[in-house]
Structure 1
């Protein structure tokens, strides 16, 4: 399981790919509210990294949508993520923290991974290095630009179905 942790910890976010975007040089955050991504609320399951992935998103409340993520592989929990998408200064920001199966954090106590909203286009919401795509009411895809142990980045698609 440790290679999953390293895989996610070594993200450099410097590259680009087909479904994820980076902040442009002249970045000015687009105006957006949680109604833009409220379709993510619910219980979602899929497969990735040789296991089952699960995300649970709360409805918008208090200018945020909270989520939990879990990877289950090899008969146990690989890791968790906890976070939210929140409204901040008339735009959205995606923030998260990682945890081992025993809930020991990966990031330092006060450190949070933060991804700025890049743009909203059709059924896609683009954050820096992440894209949320609504395929249907019962299917979503989250694309994540992730750095590997070799320093090379790859885009990973998490295909989720409503559970």
Structure 2
């Protein structure tokens, strides 16, 4: 599988080991930075990974910051990306099975390298279940369409 990976300074300590782990599993890995642990802005690196996934040049994206939250929020703004912050293997499995997530945000500060490896294993080996979930993913993706007017609020109806 072709996988794009990047981090910010808070996730940098795990980026290179995770990239090497992915390579050892036979994946083609595109390391989009940074090259040092100097302070940097996670949105810049999340954008690089998300756009590579959205273009189809990478099949999945892996982002690491302090919590996994900011990188996932940023990546999810790119049309075609379904990014999720994940801290457990169970959530990784469900994000793939139910939501067809294609970018994962990992925590480099609160989750160990070993646990993140297991989370990645689950994220990369779990297939989308389709079925009843396919229509829901289509509804998620309609949010990328600038002409989609949104679902009327109805206020309680």
Higher relative contact order (CA 8 A, sep 6+): 1
When the two structures are superposed, what TM-score results if normalisation uses the length of structure 2? 0.32
When the two structures are superposed, what TM-score results if normalisation uses the length of structure 1? 0.31
More strand, by proportion: 1
